[in-house]
Structure 1
Amino acid sequence: MAFWKQLTLSFLAVAAGILLWVWFVPGADGVLRRIGMPEGVVALVAPAGQEGATPGEPGQATGQGQANGNRRAGAGAATLVVVQPVAIGTVNDRLTALGTGDAIQSVTVMPQVSGMLAEIAINSGDRVEKGQVIARLESEEQRIARDQAQVALKSATEKNQLYTNLRSAVSRIDAFDAAIALEAAELALASAELEFSRRAIIAPIGGVAGIVTVNPGDNVTSSTAIATLDDRSELLVDFWVPERFAPVIKVGQPLTATPVARPGKLYEGTVEAVDNRIDEASRTLRIRARIPNENDDLRAGMAFTVQMSFDGERYPAVDPLSVQWDSDGSFVWRVTDGKAEKVAVRIVQRNPDAVLVEAQLAEGERVVTEGIQRVRAGRPVQILGDEAGATPAEGGQPVASR
């Protein structure tokens, strides 16, 4: 087909499309007038019902033009909405953790030397004082060695004293040897007494003895546990907290601990120590607390629920229904001077009754919770229950939307 024929057919198709658009679309004549189309051409192509209609005068249109005008008028109406005031919520103001208690001092008593148990001086559950003998090993051989060392020391002492008195009659070498022998005898006696003293097993701390699992006549070594001693006048409770609490927990801060086995009992204590690093596997920080045990109610190994309070971080709190999302993220509609304003938010924490957000919102400001689907930025809104009543925009009426 020749080019001029293609061009002619294309022109006719476009003209037919424009005629159909003008004929069937209400208000198309006004569009033609606004773009500068001559009035004669508009009158020629426009339907009879639209001729003479001017933009912004929907009351003169008939049929579909009148309906379209009514829709345009309703587009500026105030949207009926329900609002809730913004509150202020606090996050990270309370910590609850599960910990394990341990005695403030705990020792497993073992003999320093091997031998046969001759005596056990305590019973299971006895309160033991520091330095008290809790058991003895058979020590006859060590006692004899000590007595021999005492005799040797006595002999060396007398010989040295004699050489001292007879200094002019003996050589200086003999006197020197006598003094050296005296010192050696003194050291031998000290060693014998040490070996003899080690046959007595002494409590290194004061506390309560655990169950004694050995009996007289047992052969024990330096790795045999004779008894366990716990000083439980105070308890240390180790617990782990999320790493976000690391900057706010300090030594000396108060806390409360409740034994899991005794839910109604509350003990007040303080932070004893804070670990110097975060556990990489659990992303938690180890904390040690100290709590009193004046009535001896607590035992090492008990589980505790530890609670701490902090100042926390304050954020605006909004109704969960008010938070919406679009391509830019989450937002809420704030009502200011009767108009809707879009405010971007970042969700910090979700609670059953409120959502804590980071946003430019002040306490008491109102955000839309219902009727959100019809709200547009900058458009007027009417709050449900507002005594001031509706103020229609462009002659329209408030539009209810839930």
Structure 2
Amino acid sequence: MSAWKQIVLALVIVVTAAAAWARFYPGSNEMLSSPDKEGATASVGQPGRNRAGQAVTIVASPAGTATINDRLQAIGTGRANATVTVNPYSSGRLAELPVQSGAHVEKGDVIARLDSEMEVIARDRARVGLDDAQAKLDRVRSLRASNAATPVAVADAEVTLANAKLALRDAELALERRSIVAPIAGTVGILPISAGNYVTSQSAIATLDDRSSILVDFWVPERFAAAVKVGQQLSATPLANPNQVYTGTVSAIDNHIDENSRTLLVKATIANPADSLRAGMSFQIGMRFPGDTYPAVSPLAIQWGTDGAYIWAVESGKAKRVPVRIVQRNTETVLIEAPVESGDMVVTEGAQSVSEGGDVRIAGEEPRAARAEGS
């Protein structure tokens, strides 16, 4: 490239750089319009002032406060509030199944009956024995009234009557237990057996689920162990139906943390009045905890140096560098740990021209003050 082309290219670069400086450098207009000798001879070491001796113009916004977003999310498995597998007390032929799968039964309703002919005979025999014992006692007492029977005979007759009563109660209980009743109120599952089958005390007749509420077991990280309390509210979203959200409460907390997973077992109770939930469903559990309050600043205020993050605070028209520790980043604010109070002005634009202790002017404040004086 010839020398004159190089000179032209250098001039173009210089002009472009000057135009960019005049366009983007804060306070450049003031420096070009009202230069003074003091500004021209000012040393680079003068903090916070440009070459014209004017305070650096910056954009600042007040710091606020915000609460840290401490939220727990976990996956849990639901189960019925109570589940009972019904077995007969004794062996026998299944004579009748009055219920069907999916039916709702109340506590005490008969769900099956076994053959009971032998138990009926035993009950009737016990009644006959009771009547005979009562008649014998009456005769002995009448004889005793005429001194024809001894007191021992009366006592023996009374014992015989008591044994007859116990025998009748035993027979009636055996007959009663030939009818298999529901121990809880709930919904009958699929019946694994039908009438006519021979069953034993180990045979499952039916399974009942109390779905009036659903219990959800889930695991929480150990850092939430002290925050989770019995009775605390939570939200439960079925993974099969994400549009439906249920409200529940913590019903039980385990007494130790699992050493392998470093998690704590928690049980929640979800009301199920519409019977729309089933045992075995998976839920996404959400819990919110009241977090600590921290100063909140704009993300543009965060600067980085060799020693970490910091911000520029404005105090009495001067810039002050404040080291910070970032606690949490949100969409519109950054929560920090620093000696900053709510309402303190923090530099958000023009921080590249600010130095420690330098004079700064917040853009827009002087025009507002001038308008206030003019009014």
Q: TM-score, normalised by structure 2?
A: 0.72
Offset at residue 276 of structure 1 (A): 5.2
Please state how far the C-alpha of 1:127 moved relative to its aligned partner. 1.3
1:183-202 matches, within 5 Å, as: 183-202=162-181
Structure 2 contact 143–149 (Cα < 8 Å) conserved: yes
Q: Provide the residue aligned with 1:74 in structure 2.
A: 44
Alpha-carbon distance change, 84 to 285 in structure 1, aligned in 2, over 3 angstroms: farther
Matched, 1:359 2:329: no
Aligned partner of 1:130 in structure 2 is 107
2:253 paired with 1:275: yes
Gaps of 5+ in 1: 1-69, 390-402
For residues 227-246 of structure 1, the C-alpha deviation after alignment (integer angstroms, 9 at most, x for no partner) is 12122233333444444545
Counterpart of 1:170 in structure 2 is: 149
The one of 92, 101, 119 aligned to 1:115: 92
Q: Which runs of 5+ in 2 are unaligned?
A: 1-39, 50-55, 368-375
Cα 1:224–1:349 change in 2 (3 A) is farther
Partner of 1:191, secondary structure, is helix
Cα separation, partners in 2 of 1:221 and 1:351, compared to 1, 3 Å: farther
Amino acid in the other structure paired with 1:105: A
Of all paired residues, the percent bearing the same amino acid is 49
Q: Alpha-carbon deviations, 1:196-228, whole Å to 9, x = none?
A: 222211001122111111122333333332212
Deviations 1:342-368 (A, max 9, x none): 323333223455432222112343444
Letter in 2 for 1:219: Y
C-alpha separation between the residues in 1 aligned to 2:76 and 2:334? 30
Alpha carbons of 1:77 and 1:359: their partners in 2 closer, same or farther (altered >3 Å)? closer
| CA deviation after TM superposition for structure 1 residue 170, in Å | 2.1
For 1:387 and 1:229, locate their aligned partners in 2 and report how far apart those are by CA, in whole Å. Answer: 74
Instruction: Please report how far the alpha carbon of residue 119 of structure 1 lies from its aligned counterpart in structure 2 after TM superposition.
Output: 1.9
Partner-residue secondary structure (3-state), 1:275: strand
Partner of 2:131: 154
| Count of residues in correspondence between the two structures | 318
Distance 1:344 1:114 in 2: 80
Match of 2:68 among 88, 91, 114: 91
Conserved? CA contact 1:111–1:226, under 8 Å:
yes
The residue identity in structure 1 corresponding to 2:212 is S
Deviation at 1:248, TM superposition (A): 4.9
Alignment of 1:200-349 (within 5 A): 200-269=179-248, 271=249, 273-275=251-253, 277-281=255-259, 282-320=261-299, 322-324=302-304, 326-327=306-307, 330-349=309-328
Computing the radius of gyration over CA atoms, which structure comes out larger, 1 or 2?
1
Q: Is the 8 A contact 2:101 2:191 kept in 1?
A: yes
Q: In the aligned structure 2, how far is the partner of 1:107 from the partner of 1:363?
A: 59
Is the contact made by 1:243 and 1:278 (CA closer than 8 Å) also made in structure 2?
no
Q: Could you tell me whether the CA contact under 8 Å between 2:48 and 2:356 is conserved in 1? A: no
Q: Out of 329, 336, 350, which is 1:350 matched to?
A: 329
1:143 correspondence with 2:157: no
CA separation in 2, counterparts of 1:220 and 1:364?
79
RMSD: 3.3
Whole-angstrom CA distance in 1 between matches of 2:366 and 2:256: 58
For normalisation by structure 1, the TM-score amounts to: 0.67
